Chain A
Amino acid sequence: MERLVIDKYMVSLDTSPAEADKIAKNITNDIESDKTRLIDFIESLGRYLTDDDTGIRVKALSCVAAVLSNLSAGKLNSRQIAMLSEFLSDRLEDEECLNESGSGLLALSKMQHISKSAIKTITEALFAKVDMKKHNQATRYVVYQIIDGLVNHHIAVLKGMNDSTLNGFTRLIAGEKDPRNLLVVFSILKVIIENFQIEKSKESLFDAGFCYFPITFRPPPDDPYGVTSEDLKLKLRECIAASPLFAEYSFPSLIEKLTSSSINVKRDSLLTVIACIENYGGVTVEKHWEEIYNSVKFEVLHEGEEDIPDLVCKLLKTLTATISIRMVRKAAEDSGLDKFLKTATNECYPQITNLESRQAKHAAQLLAAIAEGSFAAHDTIAETTLPGIFRLVDLTSAATIAQQKTALEMLILFIESSGSLYGWKGGATSEKSPENGLLMHKDTLFELFCRAFVSTPNEEVSFRLLALQGLVKLSLLQEFLDASELGMVAQCLDDVVLTDTNESLCTSALSSLKELGRVNPDIILNTVFPAFLSQLPDPDIPASATSQSPRKHYRIILSSLADLCINKAIYEILTVRLLNKLALVAREGQDVVFAQSILTTILLVIQRKLTEKDWDLRFFFMNLTPKLISMTFTASVDRDQPQSKIMSHSSVVAVTAKIVNLLVRSVSAEDQSEFAKQICNLYITNEASSLIQESERARIASATKPLEKGFRAEGLVEIFTAAVAGLRLETAFPYSDVLSLASNLIPVALDRYNIPDRLALARLIALLVNKWLSKDDEQRFIDSAAEELKTQVTGSNSMVERASSLELLAWVGKSLIFKGNRRAFETVDLVLQLLGDKSFGRCASKTCGILIADDEIVDKSNFVIVRLLAKQQYFSYCIPKIVDGFNSSTDSESKRNHLVGLSNILQHMPGKIVIPHLSTFLPLLLQSLSLSDSHVKLATIDTITATLSDATDLMSEHLSTIVPRVLESTVDKASNPATVRVAALNCLAVLPKSLPGEVMQPYRGEIIRTLAVVLDDPRRAVRKAAVDCRQIYFAMDG
């Protein structure tokens, strides 16, 4: 071993710690590989270790420590460790070097082969020689770490030293204040308390920890160790709760802290008491229940602050549970539990029975918390207390509603505690609970809540809500109500939903029904469905014949039914019943809206389940789709007969199509491929299709050719479009020549004049182009079919022909814009150019919107390819051209068309696309504020409102134009429908929130004055908006 290396280390320790580190590592490696003997290393340090200069001693020792901590744990044998321990323990006297010698010892204490005697040497030396008060935080940390390591790994050795360890340790830690050190101290303390014989020194050990209670430490903002006050609290709590021997000190001390005025101290004390109760065990806690109970009860009875009452309830529950441990069903005579229950009941009972007092409910809360603790406590309290409440409600039937309400609230508290103890239906049932003690009062409880609900006047909403809540809670108790009682509860709930006019009662009843249904689906099938379905209009019985009380509208019933579809089986049954009803209604041929509503109900559930993704809709796809398609086709074939009118009615078909679309969309490509084949048989090749019910197959195949020019069958195309839309891109389109299919559809589309068919065909073409045309076919399609459409738009003499060609062209263009094909802009160019056309400009201005509008069918959700930047691309392409076109147009009509085109585009643009371009077109926007077209105005005002907060400077500049024009729109009822007036008021209301006060100030007076007129608007919604808007200006500073 060379001195030189050591010298180098000691020099570089000052200049470059990294270098020193490297040298230490090299030395370690040499020792590790037996190149250097440990003894030589120490000897070569020799004289430095005892040098008179403190600095040199420190450096030498730090070299030892560094080498030792780098050594692998198994390298040194026990003799070497013993030698070094002895040496370093000796050095502990050298106070200047404590950190370094400590670090060395820390490394040694982790060694594998450390002997008992070495451990003793180190521990005793630490206790005897170190005076912690003289050292800084970091050095103390080293010392604590040594002890922490020893108590965790060598507890048996230390236990042998018992008393000296305990005293030494308590002396050592006295006065520690650093949070990081305290964390270590607390965890050492806990191990010691749990493992040592502490009987003799329990008081000093308790004090050693408790002197830090309550922890009020708040970490500094840049705390390097990240110690939080919560960490400290938890560690300290564990120490205090570590041994039941502490009970005689901890409970009185903690109870004293409860009187603190600080809510944090209270909370901490309560949590610590809870931890103590949980850890000390029943025997110990039983001795202390009285002092604990007496000191915490007030927090509940007199409603303490924030979460304190809840914590106390938790405490009482834990307390009860702990002292009930050996008592299964009943508190043994004279046991602590028995006395506790008697005391608590005697105290609370008089308060509970005084319904006038505010404390009644709090007393009930307290008893309910205790009842939640154990079966024995629960059953005793149920037996002693509840009859009193029952009597009270009975005797004082003259009691005010408020008093009865208190009684119900109290009973609900007990039902709840019963539920969390004995279990709720559908909850986790780990083991079988005994029979619920509340059962002895079942009939009384049930009757009482029923009566409260049934015989209270309807206006007492909150009271009836409470009664309802009680009934539902009772129904949800595990093994409590029987089937017939559950049925009665369900009936009460049914009645509310079906007849009550109060919204919150209805909502709560419906959600209760759902909750009941979730644990007991039979209730929905056997009780609720019959009741609800019988309320639907029956076409066989004329409305005048039903003389019952006025029924709710069937839409409410249908929507409630949709809500109740909590599982697949229920929905399956509902679908069957609804389809039967639909068949009935269709046969009658009268009520289109009802038929449509029935289908909408089915749709609604599918929609919800699709977003929730909780059940597989494949079953419905397989069964419902063919059924609906078949019904529609049959109706279409026989459309002259009255019973077919309904199913082929456009508004019914629209819903049918939507259902088909969603169901197709929801299944896998595998399931889709067979369906795709069948639907193409039906529509394109007109062969027999398995989608049609067997008896009609042949007839329909020969009679319907929905995609042929001149064939008139409203609605059928819509269903095809919906089905095709739902097909995934992976699903091969069964008809191979998509290009000619799409091209051939164009003349068909141009020939149709009814809205649903035309829209369906336009969408169909757009879908085919977007989803299934290859790149080459796309170009071919543009060159031939689209080009032809263009020629018709510009060349035809008939306005109708021009318009319908433009319409189709727009849909083709939209599909290409979505797909990101640049050639789409050839169409856009044409449209923008047409804006200047005198007779055709208005059509063009509308087309600007169609080209980019979101569509429910041609949409991503239907696997349509939509490029990320499609909208942005379109927008930044159009805006400069529209602005130029506007500026260069001379006649007012053309100017107007440009403005309308702009607003039609803006309607479909999200704010973040619009804002960067705002300055280019804001002048145009302001001009369109003075147009009379209300749709344009609405779009303009909405754009201003939406972009205000992101373009404050720009808007501030133009405020002198914006405010008067918007204000004008609020007053002028003749040219502004209510929707525009409300939008204008909302716009005004947003101004002060987005723009600085001094900018708005000049307009304040005028706005307030003008809005006074709007306060007399004939429409309530407008007045409301005016009131709110005006209030904002009144509240402005100034």
Chain B
Amino acid sequence: MSEPINANPKVLSFEDLPTRSPASEEIFGDSSSIKATFPHSALDGAFPTISLYESYSSSLLLGEDGLADDDIEMKAAPELSSGESDVSDDQSDIEEHEPIDEQEIYDLISTISDPEHPLTLGQLAVVNKPDIYIVSPKDANGRHQKISRVIVEITPTITHCSLATLIGLGIRVRLERCLPPRFRIEIRVKQGTHQSESQVNKQLNDKERVAAACENQQLLGVLSGMLATCK
């Protein structure tokens, strides 16, 4: 490759990148988030409040209340009062809905690597969490509508960066592959960070041009190189 356009970019260390950290979540809530705040993975499951009863279910035929599995029909045996009941994972599992949020979008694109540095877009601060917006308009009943918009504003490392389009294209391809079709994706250069802002913006959001670019084998090769580091 020829001389890089920006040979000395500013680099953020990994610790400073935004993560889905427990800090922003509820710490004192349910047990799953407590687990997440444990700084040592070795401790996960070490406190056997839940696992205790899971192990019983695979070792015994009869349940706590005298019934074997839920599928055996028989009369309940003499019962003993006991505090704990077996809360299965699956029930809570179906109920809980975790909507797609800005952090999730950030996690999807911040690990794309820069075309000219062995660094990720997150490290180079080309992609920043505050510059990601999810817009889902509400209908008359106040419910979120299905169709949503994702807007990502990128900050090129220098104002004349000719690779801004390529980076934008990489982000677009990544999001198109990773987000459900109900999302409309819009990639923009952040205002005042590039000399030919409107031109780049136009290029990035023109369907025909994007499609044409994705036909180009050489370009596709570079793109898949950028996406290969995605975690």
Question: Which A residues are closer than 8 A to B by beta carbons?
Answer: 358, 459-462, 465, 501-507, 510, 550, 552-553, 555-556, 559-560, 563, 592-593, 596-597, 600, 604, 649-651, 654-655, 712, 714, 753-756, 758-759, 762, 798-800, 803-804, 806-807, 810, 839, 842-843, 846-847, 849-850, 853, 855-856, 934, 973, 977-979, 1012-1013, 1015-1016, 1018-1020, 1023, 1027, 1030-1031, 1034-1035
A1019 cross-chain contacts in B, Cβ below 8 A: 93, 96, 98
The 17 sampled A-B contact pairs (Cβ below 8 Å) are: A461-B16, A501-B21, A502-B21, A504-B15, A555-B47, A593-B49, A651-B84, A759-B59, A762-B60, A800-B74, A803-B72, A804-B61, A810-B61, A850-B58, A1015-B179, A1027-B108, A1027-B177
A1034 cross-chain contacts in B, Cβ below 8 A: 177
User: Of all chain B residues, which has the CB nearest A974?
Assistant: B94
Determine if B64 and A1018 form an interchain contact, defined as CB atoms under 8 angstroms apart.
no
Interface of chain A: mostly helix, strand, loop or mixed: helix
Determine if B48 and A600 form an interchain contact, defined as CB atoms under 8 angstroms apart.
yes
User: Of all chain A residues, which has the CB nearest B70?
Assistant: A842
Determine if A1035 and B224 form an interchain contact, defined as CB atoms under 8 angstroms apart.
yes
With A462-B13, A651-B52 as given contacts, are A842 and B180 in contact (CB-CB < 8 Å)? no
Q: Which of B57-97 contact A (CB under 8 A)?
A: 58-64, 66, 68-69, 71-75, 77-80, 82-84, 89-90, 93-94, 96-97
- CB of B39 within 8 Å of the partner chain: yes
Complex: how many Å from CA A758 to CA B57?
A: 12
Per CB-CB distance, the 5 closest pairs between chain A and chain B, nearest first, are A501-B23, A1016-B180, A799-B74, A977-B90, A1015-B180
Complex: how many Å from CA A774 to CA B63?
A: 33
A502 cross-chain contacts in B, Cβ below 8 A: 15, 21, 23
Determine if A753 and B21 form an interchain contact, defined as CB atoms under 8 angstroms apart.
no
- CB of B140 within 8 Å of the partner chain: no
Q: Which of B126-174 contact A (CB under 8 A)?
A: none
Determine if B58 and A847 form an interchain contact, defined as CB atoms under 8 angstroms apart.
no
User: Of all chain B residues, which has the CB nearest A1013?
Assistant: B180
A804 cross-chain contacts in B, Cβ below 8 A: 61-62
B108 cross-chain contacts in A, Cβ below 8 A: 1027
Determine if A563 and B40 form an interchain contact, defined as CB atoms under 8 angstroms apart.
yes
A560 cross-chain contacts in B, Cβ below 8 A: 39
Determine if A503 and B180 form an interchain contact, defined as CB atoms under 8 angstroms apart.
no
B71 cross-chain contacts in A, Cβ below 8 A: 842
Q: Which of B178-229 contact A (CB under 8 A)?
A: 178-182, 224, 227-228
Complex: how many Å from CA A254 to CA B28?
A: 65
B23 cross-chain contacts in A, Cβ below 8 A: 501-502
Determine if A507 and B39 form an interchain contact, defined as CB atoms under 8 angstroms apart.
yes
Give the residue among B23, B34, B84, B177 with the most A Cβ atoms within 10 A.
Answer: B177
User: Of all chain A residues, which has the CB nearest B67?
Assistant: A800
CB of B98 to closest CB in A, whole Å: 4
Complex: how many Å from CA A1019 to CA B32?
A: 14
B27 cross-chain contacts in A, Cβ below 8 A: 501, 550, 552-553
Determine if A759 and B56 form an interchain contact, defined as CB atoms under 8 angstroms apart.
yes
Contact of B39 among A510, A604, A934 (CB under 8 A): A510
Determine if A753 and B60 form an interchain contact, defined as CB atoms under 8 angstroms apart.
no
- CB of B5 within 8 Å of the partner chain: no
- CB of B1 within 8 Å of the partner chain: no
Determine if A843 and B47 form an interchain contact, defined as CB atoms under 8 angstroms apart.
no
CB of A709 to closest CB in B, whole Å: 14
Contact of A754 among B53, B82, B96, B230 (CB under 8 A): B82
Complex: how many Å from CA A408 to CA B39?
A: 26
Determine if B47 and A600 form an interchain contact, defined as CB atoms under 8 angstroms apart.
yes
Determine if B179 and A506 form an interchain contact, defined as CB atoms under 8 angstroms apart.
no
User: Of all chain A residues, which has the CB nearest B71?
Assistant: A842
With A552-B37, A1020-B104 as given contacts, are A856 and B13 in contact (CB-CB < 8 Å)? no
A506 cross-chain contacts in B, Cβ below 8 A: 39
Determine if A803 and B55 form an interchain contact, defined as CB atoms under 8 angstroms apart.
no
With A553-B34, A604-B46, A800-B77 as given contacts, are A1012 and B180 in contact (CB-CB < 8 Å)? yes
Complex: how many Å from CA A537 to CA B52?
A: 24
Complex: how many Å from CA A849 to CA B83?
A: 28
Complex: how many Å from CA A1031 to CA B66?
A: 48
User: Of all chain A residues, which has the CB nearest B107?
Assistant: A1024
Complex: how many Å from CA A804 to CA B66?
A: 9
Determine if B47 and A597 form an interchain contact, defined as CB atoms under 8 angstroms apart.
yes
User: Of all chain A residues, which has the CB nearest B100?
Assistant: A1023
A501 cross-chain contacts in B, Cβ below 8 A: 21-23, 27
Complex: how many Å from CA A502 to CA B39?
A: 9
CB of A408 to closest CB in B, whole Å: 13
User: Of all chain B residues, which has the CB nearest A844?
Assistant: B61
User: Of all chain B residues, which has the CB nearest A463?
Assistant: B16
Determine if B16 and A800 form an interchain contact, defined as CB atoms under 8 angstroms apart.
no
With A600-B46, A803-B72 as given contacts, are A1027 and B178 in contact (CB-CB < 8 Å)? yes
User: Of all chain A residues, which has the CB nearest B23?
Assistant: A501
